[in-house]
Amino acid sequence: MTTNGEPPNLAARRTGLSTRRSATLGGMTSATRSQPPSRRTQARETRQQAIVAHVMANGVATVTELTELTGASVMTVHRDLDELARRGVVRKFHGGVSAQPSTVFESSSEYRVTVQVREKEALATAASALLEPGMSIMLDTSTTNLFLARRLGDLGLGPLTVVTNYLPIMQLLRTMPDVHLIGVGGDYNSTHDAFLGMSAIEAIGALTVDVVFLSTSAMTIGTTYHQEPDIVTVKRAMMAAGQRRILLMDPTKLNRTALHRLAPTSDFHDVVVNAGTPRDFVDELRERTAVTVAG
């Protein structure tokens, strides 16, 4: 598998297959920063993708093997492997690495996250069209809503009250003029970077907003789902607090289920999906609720 002449990764480095850094690292933070890809980071991504591909193809691999494959130093490969192991993509053992059983799906979904930035931005744009000056809105814990929050600054519509339990959004809206921010407190959950629990639910229960924007990890035609009960309860509280409930769903989440049922799709006043969503899916969904297709 090793080339003989020049390091094989040079070509890959030049073409730069990967687009952006994966969103997993610092939570979802990296998706929030609109920092440029950086040629160097891109090379790193390319290299890691090559490593993952190789490990997945062969099942296992030694570090030396990967060193030759990538043309990078032993230390760099180790560092890559540490990161990949931390992200649960591969498993390290003395002498090499092996593919995680679930890696096939995991990593492909990771790749998709990269792509979804565009989709989520489209959803955010479509959602922002529903906003009017003076409105009070609620944003749940989701990357899509983070994009929506960022949009609020651009379209200079008047004063707006925004309620959220998602720390990155708070951080974002903190300095935004014309935005009255109401933070929902509670038990801080580091994996979601948000405040959850009873206290959060009570705080939400005391509020009523004009529109609540939600997103969840899976949905079918009839039902929405999420894998974590703690999140489900908070989302339900939020739904109850909104006079209008709008669901934002990027393509990767459609036609899938998760452990816990959140709510029937008919509970939402509007579901926003991306263009490219299968026609029949949209049609069937339209029998339950209003559907907006975002450019």
d(CA 272, CA 57): 38
Nearest-CA neighbor of 193 among 43, 11, 2, 30?
A: 30
Measured from the CB atom, the residue of 10 and 129 that comes closer to DNA is 10
- From its own copies, DNA, none, interface partner of 35 (C-beta below 5 to 8 A by class): DNA
Measured from the CB atom, the residue of 44 and 150 that comes closer to DNA is 44
Query: C-beta of 43: minimal distance to DNA in Å?
Result: 5
d(CA 295, CA 130): 15
Site for DNA in 19-38 (CB under 7 A): 35-38
Number of Cβ atoms within 10 Å of the Cβ of 15: 10
- From its own copies, DNA, none, interface partner of 63 (C-beta below 5 to 8 A by class): DNA
Query: C-beta of 99: minimal distance to DNA in Å?
Result: 15
Burial of 78 per CB tally in 10 Å (0-12, 13-18, 19+): middle
d(CA 91, CA 113): 22
Site for DNA in 73-92 (CB under 7 A): 73-76, 78-80, 82, 92
Q: Give 242's strand partners.
A: 209
Site string (95-114) toward DNA, x via CB under 7 A: xx------------------
Nearest-CA neighbor of 100 among 116, 87, 119, 83?
A: 87
Query: C-beta of 186: minimal distance to its own copies in Å?
Result: 6
55 binds DNA (CB under 7 A): no
Binding region for DNA (CB under 7 A)? 13, 16, 18, 35-41, 43-44, 47, 62-64, 71-76, 78-80, 82, 92-96
